[in-house]
Amino acid sequence: MIKHIAVFVVAAILIIGCGPQTSIPAMPSPTPSGSWVISVTENPAPEGASLPASVSGDECGNSYYPLKSGAQWMYNGPQGPFTHTISSSGGGIFTINVESGANTFLIQVLCMEGGDINMLQVPGDSLSYSGDRGSSTMTTTKNEGVTLPGDIQTGDDWSQTIGGEVSSGNQKINFTIDSTYNAVGYESVTVPAGTFNALKVEQSSDMGGPKPTIQTLWYVQDIGLVKSVIDVGELLVNELVSYNIP
């Protein structure tokens, strides 16, 4: 069970553009009475640690992911509709609230100088989970690289490595996600929200399995993610239905 919980939690923080739909194949879908709640607790940085300077204010300045408090996107995926809503804690710290039916994720995001976006930047940050499979806690042990650069050009490559520990009762499991990204280029994408000229990004994430997980994401300037396709033996497609960016 602890391995299934770890896969679910890890998938939830894999990339900003993912909703709960990306992780459902890893374990049975929750029953209607169950709920997933992930809350972020910010712990002090290790003594002597030097953290990159963050950007204050309500905006990050990343043109491909508008981190504006109150911004909301509605998507449709294999398990139905879900929403992403942004809130700001100040100091360049934002929270993405992902809601899908009774399931809720709260994902902490840090905006860096230059508009770079990073999740769970500080080792020691933790997330807690509770649902129909019990409860668990995930603690970040390592975070290197960047989730989404502020200035992406066609052909750019970047990477991120996230390490952590998931504990449930007296069981613990450690994980490392090594993700690499490539900005392939622009192409026209049609989703329920409209037709857009989108930047196509290919992501490969290695979690120590027999083969990496492949995901393709399409970002539109000043709007954000409009489509994602993840290959988990079958193709799971999430598409933007509507958005409201203040």
Residue-wise pLDDT tens digits, 98-147: 787 776 767 778 888 889 988 755 555 555 555 555 566 677 788 888 88
User: pTM higher than 0.85 for the full model?
Assistant: no
The CATH number of residue 15's host domain is 2.40.360
Q: To the nearest whole percent, how much of the chain has pLDDT over 90?
A: 29
Looking at the 3D structure of the chain, how many domains does it have?
Answer: 1
According to the 3-state scheme, what is the secondary structure of the chain?
A: CHHHHHHHHHHHCCCCCCCHHHCHHHCCCCCCCCCCEEEEECCCCCCCCCCCCECCCCCCCCCCCCCCCCCEEEEEECCEEEEEEEEEEECCEEEEEEEECCEEEEEEEEEEHHHCEEECCCECEEEEEEECCEEEEEEEEEEEECCECCCCCCCCEEEEEEEEEEEECCEEEEEEEEEEEEEEEEEEEEECCEEEEEEEEEEEEECCCCCCEEEEEEEECCCEEEEEEEECCCEEEEEEEEEECC
Of 49-63, 82-96, 205-219, which gets the smallest average pLDDT? 49-63
What is the per-residue pLDDT for 181?
94
Mean pLDDT of 9-16: 46
Mean pLDDT in the chain? 74
Range of the domain at 47: 2-244
